[in-house]
Chains A and B, each alone.
Chain A
């Protein structure tokens, strides 16, 4: 259904509901002593991977950059990484400070000038050595976006460790390695979500797990092994967590999306290639939705769960669907977030192991689910960006892209930000997909965009294959503002 079919009153009601959900999702329920020198919050910060704990990737507070001036975005500054490590994560922006990780470092950077404030090297104490298997990849190191909470930064290493660091100084407060087991390709691709004294974290690889940690100490409160249909001593099973969790605070639920099955037996391969809902306090599994039992096709869920309420089109007026939306390599799924019932599924191209809204190429705002969708196995190969009605999944608009995607998108103030493997970062009109602005980076758009306080922050990274030669260009964090001011 078209947005224009909504009455203004109805739309405002719907938008207000979504906005209220977003506001409720960011309480400051626990407080800690804070260091002097913490960043001063701005009017429209971007505090974590998914923007809020609903993972909307929609900055509802941004008012400076919009469809009328986004074409005037100019590079304000560029921050080159140490040792030319890639950036494969979304930066976090709090007022005057940008936090981002790359390789073996976590950085705090002045958001106005791009100057380094502090640099924290997490890769000590053997953690870097534990990423040695990534040596054949271009993206060795941290790929876990930082979460800012109460003056602290929480992020994952390229191994399975999670760190809590003082946001003012870069001093380590605690660290926790989530496994000492020798597993296949263990890594924390997951971006932590911090809420009410808890840190939710996960690792990927041959045998994945979800964790709830104490935000104050890093102690493990509960953990949950994904591939429970595989014997634990097999050290394989799969179920990787490639993204980040979303929270329904009102009902005390955390949602996660899991990757494909890696060990096949005479069973369904639970709980791989699934959306799973857990009680935040106890870790009890409340429901699961398995898109592909015994998934030998590598159809990982690779686009983050998003918590939203979807409002019915006119003829079903009054109906509200409590949704969690997530994407795998075979489609975008909208589920009842209290039962796991499927509301709708949308495929915008043939499925494959490198298809779909990968990676995290979904966002939601104003009763709409935005997505990029890649399908290299379609004939001809296709890559598109689309807006789907949140209630029905109906396509509101769809536009082709000139290249495949593998990175998060973002929405703010009527503009959809996206990028592609060819290094283009773009701004589209969120109402119709019209291209408004673009910038060519030297290599692939992999980390996504953060939109905050009248600026956008993005970066360039790499696909994963690597032959070891040095690259003739930089990997950098870029800040764009209107006219570069």
Chain B
């Protein structure tokens, strides 16, 4: 289950009035709110000079029941499970797992907001950002042990069922992020040289 507060909950609990809560639809967290101690953090990053957006680490191993918190360093990304309910994407999380979708992770008044999700079902989870698919902003989380559709199907398999296409950069990074490797190393950092665009990309000159 997500540990995110709803806007209503937030307004009720925001006794100190620290948050400027004027971004409906955004997942917002009150400044200074106590967080779960066992949350594992993944940052959302971009490096303009290389035209890259990435989750760090890109591959993460956690035990079942762990909460993961995504912390953006720039606004604009989402954390969205590969699931038919998310813009008709192919299923790349365990069949019995609930799909997650952060919505646009923006900025509330003085600090970035975040997204948290608790993983209760074992298996391999692939996720992406709705607004950075051509750039290959994807990540993989292995909960307990690898398994599920993400293990038995290569990226793009849903095309035959009419699912949304997978972009080459997404497929390239997902194929790099071996679940066995993630389970062995616990964290696999973003491979900084895997997805490099020519610079400046597509200059008309």
Q: Give residues in A with beta carbon < 8 Å to B.
A: 129, 132-133, 135-136, 182, 184-185, 206, 230, 234-236, 262-266, 289-299, 330, 342, 345, 351-353, 377
Contact = CB atoms under 8 A, between A and B. Distances in A.
A293 B134 CA distance: 12
A132 B109 contact: yes
A185 B75 contact: yes
Contacts of A185: 75, 107
B9 interface: no
B22 interface: yes
B200 A330 contact: yes
B109 A184 contact: no
B104 A135 contact: no
Contacts of A297: 48-49, 51, 199-201
Contacts of A292: 200-204
Contact of B132 (A184, A264, A351, A353): A264
Contact of B205 (A235, A266, A299, A342): A342
Contacts of A263: 76, 131-132
B109 A133 contact: yes
Given A133-B110, A352-B49, A377-B49, A234 B197 contact: no
Nearest to B26: A182
Contacts of B204: 289-293, 342
B203 A353 contact: no
Contacts of A353: 48-49
B36 to A, nearest CB: 26
* A-B CB proximity, top 6 nearest: A296-B51, A263-B131, A132-B109, A353-B48, A298-B48, A184-B106
Interface string B7-40: 0000000000000101111000000000000000
Contacts of B104: 184, 206, 234-236
A291 B107 contact: no
A291 B203 CA distance: 6
A318 B80 CA distance: 60
A132 B131 CA distance: 25
Contacts of B51: 296-297
A342 B204 CA distance: 10
Interface string B168-205: 00000000000000000000000000000101111111
A168 B25 CA distance: 44
B53 interface: yes
Contact of B201 (A234, A289, A296, A345): A296
B107 A133 contact: yes
B75, B130, B203: most-surrounded residue (chain A CB, <10 A): B203
A345 B134 CA distance: 28
B121 interface: no
A262 B72 CA distance: 14
Given A263-B131, A266-B165, 19 more contacts: A132-B109, A133-B109, A135-B109, A136-B111, A182-B25, A206-B76, A234-B104, A264-B132, A264-B135, A265-B134, A266-B133, A293-B201, A293-B202, A295-B201, A296-B46, A296-B48, A345-B205, A351-B199, A352-B49
B52 interface: yes
Nearest to A261: B131
Contacts of A133: 20, 107-110
Nearest to B52: A296
Contacts of A293: 201-202, 204
B110 A132 contact: yes
A135 B111 CA distance: 9
B137 to A, nearest CB: 9
A258 B200 CA distance: 17
A163 B48 CA distance: 35
A182 B108 contact: no
Contacts of B135: 264, 296
B152 to A, nearest CB: 26
Contacts of B197: 296
B24, B51, B76, B202: most-surrounded residue (chain A CB, <10 A): B76
A262 B131 contact: yes
A72 B111 CA distance: 47
B139 to A, nearest CB: 16
Given A182-B24, A234-B130, A236-B104, A299 B49 contact: no
Contact of B76 (A129, A184, A265, A291): A184
Nearest to A133: B109
A297 B197 CA distance: 10
B76 A262 contact: yes
